[in-house]
Amino acid sequence: MGIGILKKLFSRNSSRDTAKKRLQLVLVHDRADISPALLEELRGELIDVISKYMEIDSNNIEMELDREDGSVALVANIPVLSIKRSKKQDRRSKAKKQSK
């Protein structure tokens, strides 16, 4: 038993832990039925859409599918550099022009 505790203390990354982590990660993708390529595509489109409204740091975006309590969530961390005010105004002015 003493050896077991020592082992647990000193081998922080047993192959069991690695296996479980890899498995959890791959199952999140399997269950969400979304391939890494598709996730990458979604990321690209999201950047495009959000960039219309705010200036974002597209190099530091973190995006992943997360599993919590049996449900899957799309978690995105998108650093905002500045908010654009022009977009809405652009739209309004365009609408006004069209209505004239």
Partner 1 sequence: MEPKVIVVTSGKGGVGKTTTSANISVSLAKSGYKVVAVDADIGLRNLDLVMGLENRVVYNFIDVIEGNCRLNQALVRDKRVDSLFLLPAAQTRTKDAVNPEQMVDLCKNLKKEFDFVIMDSPAGIEGGFQNAAAGADEGLVVTTPEISAVRDADRIIGMLESLEIRPNRLVINRVRPHMVRGGDMLEVEDVLDVLAVKLIGVVPEDSSVISSTNSGEPLTFGNSSPATQAFENIAHRLTGAEVPFLDLEKMNDNRFVSGLKKIFRFSK
Could you tell me the smallest distance in angstroms from the CB atom of residue 74 to partner 1?
19
Site for partner 1 in 29-48 (CB under 8 A): 30-31
Q: Which is nearer to partner 1, 11 or 35 (CB)?
A: 11
Let me know: does 76 contact 58? Beta carbons within 8 Å: no
Site size with partner 1, rule: CB under 8 A: 18
| Cα Dmax for the chain | 84
Backbone dihedral region of 33: left (phi > 0), alpha (psi from -120 to 50 degrees) or beta? left
CB atoms within 10 A of CB 50: 16
* Beta bridge partners of residue 73, listed in sequence order: 66
Least distance (Å) between residue 8 CB and partner 1: 7
User: CA 82 to CA 38: how far, in whole Å?
Assistant: 28
45-74: which residues touch partner 1 (CB under 8 A)? 70
Q: Which residue bears the tokens 């000193």?
A: 10
Q: Which of 5, 6, 8, 65 binds partner 1 (CB under 8 A)?
A: 8
Return the number of the residue (23 or 80) whose C-beta is nearest partner 1: 23
Task: Give the binding site for partner 1 (CB under 8 A).
Answer: 4, 7-8, 11, 14-17, 19-20, 22-24, 26-27, 30-31, 70
